Amino acid sequence: MTGEKVPTLPKVRTKLIKHGHPEWMVETEYLADVMKDIQGIIGNDASIFQPGCGCGYVLDALWEVGYTNLTGLDKNKGDVGDDWNPEIKFIHSTIGNLVDCDNKFRPEDVINSLPQYDVVFTHRFLHIWPDEKDWLFKKIANKANKFLITLEGEEGSRTAFWTHLPRNYQSVFEKFGFKQIFSEVNVFPFQNNEIITMTLRVFKRNEVNFQQ
């Protein structure tokens, strides 16, 4: 996507350096650019949800470029702790730990309890889901009113994660009422001088028409 380049996100950059993850800045800026491209369509107050948000760096970036209605969900706030932006809602849930969950855990209960959002986006999250959890993709898709955005390691991609379970997410989500409107593959720096290859996909819900 070729929209307006966001600023250098000094607050996010400072937090990433403070918590020892400066190499994640490239991915964070990239996703902020993507979200900036649709900002004129959905508005600053659009509700945006990130399951598996981790430390919340991407949500921080979206706040810094002007989005004001942000929600993240994960099992904890990672390295950030008290540095979590109080303006961003955090939902504590073990849904992000699906690989290790036991049979008593019902992630569908967590998903079903959530409202719908204008935009749902995932970043290095879906690739941890084992095949027996594929039904959760539909649950996630049903929470997106307008856009669904994924930045994930896909089939044949080079990834630094041992949990990588590659899929083609166009095939996954277009059967749930979405149309892919953009995709591209990019290489990003990762920790310990490694690189990861991820695919960006932007989907629009089929029945939604926007006035340009």
Q: Does residue 18 lie within any of the structural domains?
A: yes
Domain membership flag for residue 109? yes
pTM: 0.86
Structural domain including 196 reads: 10-205
74 in Cβ contact with 50 (< 8 Å): no
What is the domain count for the chain? Answer: 1
Report pLDDT digits (tens) over 38-47: 999 999 999 9
Burial of 63 (0-12, 13-18, 19+ CB in 10 A): buried
Q: Is residue 212 part of a domain?
A: no
Give me the CATH number covering residue 153. Answer: 3.40.50.150
Q: State both tokens at 192.
A: 């310990």
Whether 93 is covered by a domain: the verdict is yes
> What does the alpha-carbon distance between residue 186 and residue 46 come to, in Å, rounded to a whole number?
27
pLDDT per residue as tens, the chain (212 positions)? 655 665 578 889 888 888 888 888 999 999 999 999 999 999 999 999 999 888 889 999 999 999 999 999 887 766 566 778 899 998 877 654 444 444 444 566 777 889 999 999 999 888 777 776 677 888 899 999 999 999 998 876 655 555 567 789 999 999 999 999 999 999 888 777 778 888 999 999 997 665 43
Estimate the crossing angle of helix 10-18 against helix 25-37, to 10 degrees.
Answer: 150
Helix (H) or strand (E) holding 185: strand 178-189
Is 190 part of any domain? yes
Residue 31 host element (H or E): helix 25-37
Provide the total of helices (H) and of strands (E) in the chain, helices listed first.
7, 7
Examine residue 164 and state whether it is found in any structural domain, yes or no.
yes
